Chain A
């Protein structure tokens, strides 16, 4: 029985690739660069999107209502958790609750803690009303062993503390009873407590803290709104702004636009670089392919003289090109991923965007897209030289090579 497949197409392919290593390494580098820029662009955007989805889901709100003049601060609290304090009259909360389409409304008070001996760290403290809350209450339902009682706090994942630890804020000691999962958003840098404990902390601050904390009576910082099923959050948000002057609404879509804007410059840079590299690389890679094809015309002619069909030759040359493109892309994607994961916090902080590592499926799609595009570029660049070399008469080519 024939065992001719001991030396097969794949073995010939590997031999051809490994024995022309210098030029192949240079080509692999070009593909790695294209794939890395393509992947990075998608990775950053998907990371921000995933973070927004997780963060908004954590908040459980469709709309966040804040004082008009603190709209930017409100966004910052949600996106990065940068400590901030602002207030508006809680009568707005009553009015919001009555607007058609609003299913639930929950007030919150934002307190910026201090960088001083009285406080563990400058964090965003968020006081909630346990009666109406749907931010922490959802999490509490998922974690039935945890209760947010007197002087208890639940902390974000970026607050480096363990359950059971005591933390002082404005001289008042709180007890950590839970840690939220990472969202990549402001929630990670926040500390959640009850309204009444926040008021007690404020009352005690004059004596216990280096700076007095004032929470004006009948004032809140923000109102979280959950809309009725089937109702458009944007429509309800417009209604709230129309009916309650001096308020500003923040929706997930609005936040995404803000994040897109913040990412825009980086994306433009990455996409521009990718486009420029691709535009330059296609003719460059085509030139390299044509050069290789020209160098190998005698070898290809010998293959054809030995019985290789034209299809076989094109398949071999395309397979070589695809292999180089795929190897380069995998190196580029892998390298970009290591850098992006390693510098994830630095990138998110620098770009002021919420960020968590996208889901494995999103990573697979991002990587697959970069891989597919690079393989396409490789195929386009090598197809014409492969067809061209096939047009020549093998006998003539061999004879010319012999003379």
Chain B
């Protein structure tokens, strides 16, 4: 369903070139819950953005449902994002001028043929425990509530893939558990989930876990994660 083959992403600065993601191979099958663990700056968010078609790899190929998104026009890629992928940003990424319900309904503007509707938005907000906050503006929501609205928004068009960048990064432990349980439920219902995080506590929720170190994807995260972090203080 999602496939990255030899994907590299490098950024040029004035004096040098930084390789954020280095020759990554990854295949995520339908119904999987993949977790990518890594410290800040390891390149995991860049990899996630490439998987979602938000940025194009410098070299290599990303395929979604077998279609190489690097070959698609920008408008076609936007269409794929609207229909196929629900994206949860590290911070909620809600539009401040519209209500929680309207934020959830926002992606329906870009996918008019999708299943998104007001009724579905209300139902999704109920599912994430915010049925009482439909008319609230983002500025009046807590971090956890905003994150839940963002998850509901990611699901409004019924995407088969949910991609989340540090979904529990700024949340307390209780909310973190609630969010991850929600992800687990969605995965059980058939949604393919890819999450990047620096938090090893999320490992039990995933069906497969990778590590990310200096732009490289590591297949043996249990041994790598804790050892690497211990070896690199401040991580």
Name the interface size band of chain B. 35 or more
Chain A residues in 8 Å Cβ range of B108: 2, 4, 7
Is B87 a contact of A305 with CB atoms below 8 Å? yes
Known contacts A19-B97, A395-B49: does B110 contact A307 (CB below 8 Å)? yes
A398 contacts chain B at the CB level, 8 A cutoff: yes
Chain B residues in 8 Å Cβ range of A298: 93
Closest CB in chain B relative to A189 CB, distance in Å? 58
Chain B residues in 8 Å Cβ range of A309: 74-75, 78-79, 110
A304 contacts chain B at the CB level, 8 A cutoff: yes
Closest CB in chain B relative to A280 CB, distance in Å? 29
Q: Fill in one digit per residue for A259-303: 1 if any B CB lies within 8 Å of its CB, else 0.
A: 000000000000000000000000000000000000000110011
Closest CB in chain A relative to B157 CB, distance in Å? 8
Known contacts A8-B109, A302-B95: does B75 contact A402 (CB below 8 Å)? no
A142 contacts chain B at the CB level, 8 A cutoff: no
Stretch at the interface among A9-17, A192-200, A341-349: A9-17
Known contacts A2-B117, A4-B116, A7-B105: does B89 contact A308 (CB below 8 Å)? no
C-alpha spacing A160/B45, complex, angstroms: 83
B113 contacts chain A at the CB level, 8 A cutoff: yes
Is B81 a contact of A307 with CB atoms below 8 Å? yes
Interface residues of A in 383-401 (CB under 8 A from B): 393-396, 398-399, 401
Is A402 a contact of B117 with CB atoms below 8 Å? no
Q: How many positions in chain A have a CB within 8 Å of any CB in the partner chain?
A: 35
> Can you name 23 A-B residue pairings with CB atoms under 8 Å?
A5-B112, A7-B102, A7-B109, A8-B109, A12-B102, A15-B97, A15-B102, A20-B97, A298-B93, A305-B89, A306-B153, A307-B79, A307-B82, A307-B107, A308-B82, A308-B110, A309-B74, A309-B75, A309-B110, A312-B110, A396-B55, A399-B45, A402-B91
Closest CB in chain A relative to B9 CB, distance in Å? 11
B118 contacts chain A at the CB level, 8 A cutoff: yes
Chain A residues in 8 Å Cβ range of B117: 2-4, 6
Interface residues of A in 231-266 (CB under 8 A from B): none
A138 contacts chain B at the CB level, 8 A cutoff: no
Is A4 a contact of B114 with CB atoms below 8 Å? yes
With both beta carbons as reference points, the residue of chain B lying nearest to A4 in the complex is identified as B108
Chain B residues in 8 Å Cβ range of A304: 78
Is A3 a contact of B119 with CB atoms below 8 Å? yes
Given contacts A3-B119, A302-B95, 13 further A-B contacts (CB under 8 A): A2-B115, A3-B118, A4-B116, A4-B117, A7-B106, A20-B97, A305-B87, A305-B93, A307-B107, A307-B110, A308-B110, A310-B75, A393-B55
